[in-house]
Structure 1
């Protein structure tokens, strides 16, 4: 299947050309303002690529891209690849310091932006970032470039090993670091996505980009182009809107982060009925606890797929399939704690050789390294030749990858090393709990005081029976692993990719302790009880 639909593509632009030849006047992408056929998408992308080069940009130049989910986003991504420019997406959920860090590190000459995009603190990207060439989609600049460009212009001839993008994550000092992505990497990931994730789910009618296409949803852009599927772009839809789009646009496939899936499970029954005809509901960005998997399967759909990957190694490296979820929910619960079966393209080993150790991955989806690596001393030890030390702690059993924790999540309390996930998993099935995070708060006696923070299904305090169940689960842990205090939050702070922001949780409690304030708002009381 994958060889057929990719049509022998060697670079990203080939996928678009083959899609236009095969699917012509079918709708390729649509948003709230209109739609483009496959031919129109290819022609606009080629015209924009020519226009960008005519504007003075040169092949190899880095171009920052900050666009909402829209037809323009697909046109822009394809145009940058066709022009030989290096796409550097900016996540609007980040803030000014991260945007500046990315701009500084990559040395971007261009910026394609919608001035309406703002960060979590309300600051507009255009108020913070300036480049030699700025093209505002909201002001019609892209349309202007497309009008001046030619669909038949001779564009640079890309090679599979050429850099097509930089994907940024945080460095050890906080300065973002950019993983180099080549055309070959993108196509290897698309091939694995087609075969391992999409093919087992059945025919694709339409794919909904409900999450930011800059993040996990964007992994499906090339596969859906190759399949000739219609892609529906929605910018920050709320749960009700997601359900309405699924029903109204006959969506069969979509991918969301766990926090959004959780919100969808609380919709009224009538809204949740939209998921009855979904063939694939994928989750990525963070693993779902078994209790949440069961809740999503019961309230939305059991057509669940999860996959694992990193900024430096494009997903999927492993896949927990629909069948795996069914087996896990039925009689093999251990599977639900797995990151899935390792895909054929990825070579994954454990640093310890056997048992528990750091996950080391190599293969065609792994980056060649970080941008500016020779000039930076804060990147940490990640790449050793073609292998990437992921920072994830895990093990492999019968072809399945089990992730235990992150090396940088490890806590040291009273001289003992403690992985938060072990404590989190011990209480994950306790009644009344929705989400649980274990963090370390600086403490003179313990070094780090193990603290369990949680939200509840009801939004209210745990009742006496639920609290006893929680205590019983914690008492089963070794004494040094038991939290010294427990606190309830109304909601967890989320990071730019939708994951729970552990650093923000720690900062919240540190700040509260310094001021002597109660760690609570009037509508979100915290409870604290010692287990030492």
Structure 2
């Protein structure tokens, strides 16, 4: 099974059902397959060849799905660009991957002027109708053909693109279906893409296509727009980053969601309880990486319920390891550690990238591969029931007074304080301590928690070496391109003494 065959099978089975709808219209399953296949032919007719890298800069909508599928069918390599990154980062990615083409929305005309001038093939999405040629299948892709390059957010130095194959994407789609969704969604299911579909929300495109269920796309949606869409379209499933889940819980009072998934980071138990009470009790957390497509682990709705009803330690877990992967925790030399002992998480299996694009001779790629294993850079341990507990990122560790401190543990304590919405803990340079733990936090609308109270509660909940030395209340915490709190930007602002 390749992506092209998957799309055609969905068209044959579900034909006239609505497949996708967004600001740019609606497509049935048959229409989506016809347009994607025809667009694949059209792109190849412009002089592109299988294996060429094609940049994609499109907002949430039908055109994004059509382009994604068309590039896969044509044997072209999709390189999605995050609109939030901006022209400088787009051009750096284009240079790194040797892009030959660009498919873009004309709202980005001005920002892409320089980018477009250096590419041979440039296609605005409004030309899709003119480019569609025929509707028969295209190409003869195989499972291990590269179908995309995924560039991680927050990249420093030279960009790095993880190669994704048909095998990676279909393995992820099957695991999302059976591990996260709990089985194929029914014909009446409706998935809402409220976050960018080039990131975590996009992991649900293939599962819902395979199941013959409808997908609705929003562009730049806030919490109120998400709630309106849930009501208007009868939405049953969605996935959001924890920051947006928290914001949604601030303004909602119950939803009909059968599943609300979150990823990118665990949520503090207080926020999980509020989301369960104000949004839906059907919460699911999943974990993965750019280099190892989610889900690698899943904490399902039943485990969330147990965690809220007497087993709170479960809520700090990333959940059970999925069947599609082999996941272990190892020491610095790569030796497997006993359960309960912290170390670096390593993983192998069908969801794991075969490597970075053009990686030969580079020593700046961060994550490494050894004997088929991906060293993730995440620190954690395996505990009860074979579940994974993640401590933090290896590179985010703070060394203060000779002690190693992972900021997530401190952030969870602060974010669990009544009235606080988000928190970020970083290490500022300090002549006495090496690094001084400093907390920045944002309160829920209409609430205020004094810094002295935050420090007092941290003293009560944490050992001395993990207690922040100072705390700062800010209006909001900066987010990176994928909607997660950017510790790097928090640190920069604190070091620069900027007013927030």
- What TM-score do you get using the length of structure 2 for normalisation? 0.94
The answer to whether the aligner puts 1:300 opposite 2:279 as a matched pair is yes
* Matched position secondary structure for 2:250: coil
Q: 1:170 and 1:259, CA in 2 relative to 1: closer, same or farther beyond 3 A?
A: closer
The answer to whether the aligner puts 1:39 opposite 2:30 as a matched pair is yes
Query: What is the CA-CA distance between 1:467 and the residue it aligns to?
Result: 4.7
What is the aligned partner in structure 2 of residue 176 from structure 1? Answer: 159
Q: 1:437 and 1:223, CA in 2 relative to 1: closer, same or farther beyond 3 A?
A: same
Contact kept? 2:271, 2:416, Cα under 8 Å: no
What is the aligned partner in structure 1 of residue 211 from structure 2? Answer: 227
Residue number among 382, 388, 393 corresponding to 2:374 in the alignment? 388
What is the aligned partner in structure 2 of residue 166 from structure 1? Answer: 149
Structure 2 residue ranges without an equivalent (≥5)? 332-336
Contact kept? 1:474, 1:482, Cα under 8 Å: yes
Structure 1 residue ranges without an equivalent (≥5)? 1-9, 513-518, 522-532
Is the deviation greater in 22-31 or in 417-426? 417-426
- Aligned equivalents of 1:197, 1:314: Cα separation in 2: 13
Pairing of 1:233-272 with structure 2 (within 5 A)? 233-267=217-251, 272=253
The answer to whether the aligner puts 1:356 opposite 2:342 as a matched pair is yes
What is the aligned partner in structure 2 of residue 59 from structure 1? Answer: 50
**Per-residue CA shift, 1:251-282, capped at 9, x if unaligned?**
11111111211221222x5xx44x1x210111
* Matched position secondary structure for 1:306: strand
Query: What is the CA-CA distance between 1:460 and the residue it aligns to?
Result: 4.6
The answer to whether the aligner puts 1:197 opposite 2:186 as a matched pair is no
Q: 1:125 and 1:413, CA in 2 relative to 1: closer, same or farther beyond 3 A?
A: farther
What is the aligned partner in structure 2 of residue 527 from structure 1? Answer: none
* Matched position secondary structure for 1:176: coil
Query: What is the CA-CA distance between 1:180 and the residue it aligns to?
Result: 0.7
Q: 1:416 and 1:322, CA in 2 relative to 1: closer, same or farther beyond 3 A?
A: same
The answer to whether the aligner puts 1:108 opposite 2:95 as a matched pair is no
- Aligned equivalents of 1:186, 1:101: Cα separation in 2: 25
**Per-residue CA shift, 1:124-173, capped at 9, x if unaligned?**
24454542111011xx2222211xx1212x62210101001110115874
- Aligned equivalents of 2:363, 2:106: Cα separation in 1: 34
Q: 1:484 and 1:167, CA in 2 relative to 1: closer, same or farther beyond 3 A?
A: same
What is the aligned partner in structure 2 of residue 529 from structure 1? Answer: none
Is the deviation greater in 413-422 or in 396-405? 413-422
Q: 1:125 and 1:260, CA in 2 relative to 1: closer, same or farther beyond 3 A?
A: farther
Q: 1:202 and 1:80, CA in 2 relative to 1: closer, same or farther beyond 3 A?
A: closer
* Matched position secondary structure for 1:39: helix
What is the aligned partner in structure 1 of residue 69 from structure 2? Answer: 78
* Matched position secondary structure for 1:506: helix
Query: What is the CA-CA distance between 1:385 and the residue it aligns to?
Result: 3.1
What is the aligned partner in structure 1 of residue 426 from structure 2? Answer: 439
- Aligned equivalents of 2:24, 2:103: Cα separation in 1: 19
**Per-residue CA shift, 1:269-325, capped at 9, x if unaligned?**
5xx44x1x2101111122211111111111111111110000000000011111111
Q: 1:170 and 1:73, CA in 2 relative to 1: closer, same or farther beyond 3 A?
A: closer
The answer to whether the aligner puts 1:478 opposite 2:463 as a matched pair is yes
The answer to whether the aligner puts 1:510 opposite 2:491 as a matched pair is no
- Aligned equivalents of 2:124, 2:302: Cα separation in 1: 45
What is the aligned partner in structure 1 of residue 334 from structure 2? Answer: none
Residue number among 70, 89, 97 corresponding to 1:98 in the alignment? 89
Residue number among 286, 292, 300 corresponding to 1:321 in the alignment? 300
The answer to whether the aligner puts 1:212 opposite 2:187 as a matched pair is no
- Aligned equivalents of 2:480, 2:149: Cα separation in 1: 20
Q: 1:70 and 1:427, CA in 2 relative to 1: closer, same or farther beyond 3 A?
A: closer
What is the aligned partner in structure 2 of residue 373 from structure 1? Answer: 359
* Matched position secondary structure for 1:288: coil
Say how many residue pairs are matched. 490
* Matched position secondary structure for 1:374: coil
Contact kept? 2:178, 2:184, Cα under 8 Å: no
